[in-house]
Amino acid sequence: MAYTTIDDPTAYFQTKLYTGNGSTQSITLDGLNDMQPDWVWVKQRGGTTNHKTSDSVRGATKALQNNDTDAEATDTDGITSFDSNGFSLGAGGDYNSSSASQVAWNWKAGTSFTNDASSTGIGTIDSAGSASDASGFSIVSYTGTESAGTIKHGLSSAPKMIIAKDRASGSLSWFVGHASLGFTKRLKLDGTNAAADNTVWNNTNPTSSVFSVGDSANANTSGNAIIAYCFAEKQGYSKFSSYTGNGNADGTFIYTGFKPAWIMLKRTDGTNSWCIFDNKRLGRNPNNPRLYANNSNASEGASDEAYVDILSNGFKLRGAQPDINASGGTYIYMAFAENPFVTSTGVPATAR
């Protein structure tokens, strides 16, 4: 059996750097094959602007801000379309300020689905969305009931991580479930909170067909539209796991089984930020600087920056900062590949 079924990860995930022009422009991705993204997450690298995210299920101009609890807004000057190999932008400042250095993280789902739960017998709450079983990623839209229920996620294996947001609420957080914590706990993508016991996921792990929500408003407000991003693990392409920090500048090594293109991690036993690293900013070891998913801070140039080394089979922490590597600290992460450690034809990844 081949090590991986995904020899070209750029068919499903890409980081794209671009420069804003203060007008309109189309951004072309750089992978080996064309990729029409279904989820685009944009951040200005050097400025204190909001994280912005749009997806093909909600519609291109429908924006949420990952770093706060704001309700969904219509940004006609934001992401205006998802194109055959990229996306188009209006003149919105968070997306496209003149001369601003920007980063966009792009995921492909691709196959639309709808589920009438009462007809199919799959789940108890109707859902619709877009899914890629090949890459283990789905975008799921549903309407909350505020009664405990189950929701079809569109994948054939159980998600190891789910990120959900009530689109109508300006006060409810982005709730995160992760297999390394167990779905009796939750984190908040827009906050630094430690992991906490909560019934967001109805204390139930996802299955190969559905995920669960509790009878609270958190990810199940009665009558509200909710969006969920679901991730199942694929060998050689994605990893959702945990590690323990060593508090040393010669930090912990984390094996993923691929050369990472993108990493997001969070300390779960402390009030620390979500840190995002990728293979394009600045694009060399050891200077891969972080951005924070939970706030609008800039990244490059910070004197107290924490770094990682991106290696052929994982990543190594280069700093003792509590956000990434406190001694004895527990952390969860999600990561996507630039290259599998070994392709299906036996070609190994190379280090930087």
What digits encode the pLDDT tens for the residues 52-88?
999 999 999 999 999 999 999 999 999 999 999 999 9
pLDDT at 304 over 60: no
In a domain, 308, yes or no: yes
Same-domain check for residues 72 and 122: no
Same-domain check for residues 263 and 305: yes
Last residue of a domain, one of 231, 251, 279: 231
Task: Supply the pLDDT for residue 94.
Answer: 96
In a domain, 2, yes or no: no
Average pLDDT over residues 83-109: 97
Find how far residue 290's CA is from the centre of its chain.
15
What pLDDT, in 10s, does the model give residues 30-56? 988 899 999 999 999 988 999 999 999
3-class SS of residue 239: strand
List residues bridging with 297 in a β-sheet: none
Same-domain check for residues 212 and 272: no
Average pLDDT over residues 179-201: 98
Phi-psi map region of 319: left, alpha, beta (phi>0 left; psi -120 to 50 alpha): left
In a domain, 348, yes or no: no
pLDDT at 103 over 70: yes
268-282 b/e with 16+ CB inside 10 Å = b? bebebbbbbbbbbbe
Expressed as residue numbers, the domain containing 209 is: 111-231
In a domain, 4, yes or no: no
For CA atoms 31, 36, 40, 44, the dihedral sign is positive
Q: Is the whole model's pTM more than 0.85, yes or no?
A: yes
In a domain, 45, yes or no: yes
Structurally, how many domains does the chain consist of?
A: 3
pLDDT at 117 over 80: yes
Spatial distance between the Cα atoms of 326 and 328, rounded to a whole number of angstroms: 6
Query: Residue 271: what are its φ and ψ, rounded to 5°?
Result: -90, 75
Q: Helix count (H) and strand count (E) of the chain?
A: 3, 28
